[in-house]
Amino acid sequence: MTALAMDLSSAGLPPSALPDDATVLAQVAIIADGPLRNAAREIDEGHYPLEIMTALGGTGALGAHLRHNGGRLGLAIAAMQTASRACGSTGFLMWAHDVCGLYLEGSDNPALSSSLLETHSAGLTFGGTALSNPVKAVAGIEDFLLRARRVPGGYIVTGALPWVSHIASGQYFGGMAGVPKADGGFSHAILFFMRCDDRIALRPCPRFSGMEGTSTWSVRFDEVFVPDAEVIADPAQLLLGRIREAFILLQTGMAMGIIEGSINDMRDVEGQLGHVNRFLSDRPDELTGELAELRTRIMRLAETPEDGSTDYMVDVLDARCQASDLCLRASQSALLHQGARGYLHAAAPQRRVREAHFAAIVTPAIKHLRWEMARLLRDEVPA
């Protein structure tokens, strides 16, 4: 048994079906502040923490946002924040896993929306999301990298995605492909379920500066047949329209956790360095206040993810943008507060700076969020 597995078993977490919010968060905190905190460095260096994900699944945190569990989006975000204060990579895996759960829940195929969703939300099977490119393609930022051609009984999908996380042989993900028209444009896009079997090739990505434990692969589709039963939404836009707010809001859990971890790093050296650190800006008390305000706003937004209005969407995009900005400021400030300690290769502030930059560039990146807000506000106010 590895040290990590022993840590997890000694946390003594009981299996639970539909526990209340406080119980879920208390159990996630036991994992975050124990085994996950101890493993954060190992994960940063490339360990893919499926044993932690299984433990998190056992708390109910990975299915909390789903309709059949009461649609507790705020709880899923709070759980992700709690895990991310220990390890941003694990927070990102939770996000990818949660979003994949939304795709499965949206399928008409009971093998996906019932049997697989059950094991998925319990953290017994794992899968991620490959929607960065299509989300940008739908927004008009770049072209679809996957193309789907209609054939009897399904679609043939071709193309390659540069990076998809939380996948491995036997796992799965939700992907999206554009359906080309004769004139070179796209008639629409489909959202489909893809199991990582010998139909697709997973290739290693170049080494990233962080997030190395997220099992991120480049995926090649060479004329892959996707049967109708595994097409989750055709056209995809209908389902995407229903889940896009949850997709974006869930990411704020990762950002808020990195902010919280950074504040903890600052407080850790307050006794020794507070006399000189008080000359820095973005001090822990200031950031704690800003985080509390942001969290209140996010939790309010998480109560009405199906609002559907433009004002609500702009508010969601703005909150996500604010979370990324604060994440960058907090992680940089933590490093300045810790000085040489924080500059050590294995130091937590060093890792959090890289995690925070990931929170700022993962789709929708800050630049994409601002593009989308500008577009929505332009539509609202006719020239």
Ligand X SMILES: Cc1cc2nc3c(=O)[nH]c(=O)nc-3n(C[C@H](O)[C@H](O)[C@H](O)COP(=O)(O)OP(=O)(O)OC[C@H]3O[C@@H](n4cnc5c(N)ncnc54)[C@H](O)[C@@H]3O)c2cc1C
CA 65 to chain centre: 13
d(CA 364, CA 173): 18
- Asked if 258 is part of the footprint of ligand X (rule: CB under 6 A), the reply reads no
Q: Is 197 helix (H, G, I), strand (E, B) or coil?
A: coil
**In the bound complex, which residue of the shown chain has the CB atom lying closest to ligand X?**
132
Measured from the CB of residue 202, what is the shortest distance to ligand X in angstroms? 12
Exactly one of 81, 90, 107, 216 binds ligand X (CB under 6 A); that residue is 216
Q: Are 76 and 250 in contact (CB under 8 A)?
A: yes
Total residues in contact with ligand X, by rule CB under 6 A: 21
Structure tokens given for 57: 């699944």
> What residues have CB less than 8 Å from 130, skipping those under 6 apart?
161, 164, 173, 174, 175, 176, 194, 219
Answer positive or negative: Cα dihedral of 101, 172, 78, 293: negative
Q: For the chain, how far is it from start to end, CA to CA, in angstroms?
A: 65
- Angle at 111 (CA atoms; ends 72, 55), nearest 5 degrees: 50
Q: Quick one: 213 or 284, whose CB is closer to ligand X?
A: 213
Q: Does residue 129 belong to the site contacting ligand X (CB under 6 A)?
A: yes
Near ligand X by CB under 6 A: residue from 26, 111, 208, 272: 208
Identify the residue among 59, 90, 125, 133 touching ligand X (CB under 6 A).
133
Q: Whose Cβ is closer to ligand X: residue 163's or residue 186's?
A: 163
Query: At its nearest, how many Å lie between ligand X and the CB of residue 10?
Result: 31
Span interacting with ligand X, options 19-27, 62-70, 206-214, 319-327, rule CB under 6 A: 206-214
Nearest distance in Å: CB 94, ligand X: 12
Lay out the site mask for ligand X across 75-114 (x = CB under 6 A, - = otherwise). Answer: ---------------------x------------------
In angstroms, the CA 8 to CA 223 distance is 42
Q: Is 164 in the site for ligand X (CB under 6 A)?
A: yes
Q: What is the DSSP letter of 140?
A: T
Q: Restricting to residues 364-383, which ones interact with ligand X according to CB under 6 A?
A: 365, 368
4 in contact with ligand X (CB under 6 A)? no
Cα 100 to Cα 10, 63, 66, 128, distances in angstroms: 30, 11, 11, 5
Candidate segments 71-79, 210-218, 283-291, 370-378, binder of ligand X by CB under 6 A: 210-218
The site for ligand X (CB under 6 A) is made up of: 96, 128-133, 142, 162-165, 208, 211, 214, 216, 361-363, 365, 368
